[in-house]
Amino acid sequence: MDKPADVLVERPEAGIAVITLNRPDRLNALTRETVARFNAALDGVAADRECRAVVITGAGRGFCSGQDLAGSKQRMNAGNVGVVDKLFWQEQFAGMGRRLRGMPKLVVAAVNGPAVGAGMAIALSADVRIATPTAKFLVAAVRIGLSGGESGLSYLLPRMIGASRAFDVLLTGRPIEAEEAEQTGLVRALVTPDRLVEEALAYCRAVLANSPFSVAHTKKLMWENLDASCYESAIWAENRTQILATMTEDYTEAVTAFVEKRPPSYKGN
């Protein structure tokens, strides 16, 4: 019998892809091979113009428990610990979040359980997070002799929950439980496990009611203006994007539909 794929890509409806990390017996821990296949899956949906939203989730009771330390220990025992090889794979791990942030699609993390280390970074690199009450976010690296900053976490976390709270989480390695995640705005909502993916899909539908240009460039502006050097830089980027938006056919359709009191029909042009 063939071994089940550790990364599943499904298209439950037009315009939306669901990518599932599928190693439930290991809480979807990431081997190097899993990371390579996940990145390939992200590249595939990013290149698909028909796909406008991506839901990321995990099989079983965990979202992603981070790096598979058993595999790491095997490489250490085998003496395969060269710095060049290590740096290459560190960049592949970090590349997961870079792809999620950079693709011109809505990305929703449906966090169904623990999101640990690089798994937490995947969740935080999504545009929106919806979670179950069993979800928790944990930076485990600081507890195993590494730094709490990995795969963009030291960048993302303070921007989402504030610097003071992020210092506490990264330095202690304590988990952010689901209730705290909701209270701090790290997750949009908590829902029951049986409703999680459907809630994520419903959220995607609500966003995709807007034009493709609007969604893609609002996402781009949000991520870029987190790093804007000043207010004026942010305004300049917004002004440029707004003028470009007025030149799309979908903008003309949106205005016409508003005047005619009917739903718009967007073509992505």
All structural domains of the chain with their residue ranges: 7-208, 212-259
Domain 7-208 class, CATH top level = alpha beta
Rounded-to-10 torsion of CA 11, 4, 115, 33: -100
- HSE on the CB side for 208, CA within 13 Å? 22
Q: What's the rounded Cα separation, in Å, for the pair 46 and 27?
A: 26
pLDDT at 1: 54
Q: What is the pLDDT of residue 68?
A: 80
Residue 34: what are its φ and ψ, rounded to 5°?
A: -65, -40
| pTM of the model as a whole | 0.92
- Please report the pLDDT score of residue 34 as a whole number: 96
Question: What per-residue confidence (pLDDT) applies to 78?
Answer: 61
Q: What integer pLDDT is reported at residue 140 of this predicted model? A: 78
CA distance to 30, 104, 235, 260, per residue, from 214 (Å): 34, 10, 17, 21
What is the reported pLDDT for 72? 63
Task: Specify the pLDDT at position 189.
Answer: 97
Q: Which residues of the chain have pLDDT under 70?
A: 1-2, 69-80
| Angstrom distance (rounded) from CA 187 to CA 110 | 10
C-alpha 78/C-alpha 59 separation (Å) is: 30
Confidence at residue 76, expressed as pLDDT on a 0 to 100 scale? 61
Q: Are 178 and 32 in contact (CB under 8 A)?
A: no
Q: What is the pLDDT of residue 74?
A: 64
Which pLDDT does position 59 carry in this prediction?
97
Helices (H), the chain: 32-47, 69-77, 83-102, 118-125, 153-161, 163-172, 178-183, 196-208, 212-225, 231-246, 249-259
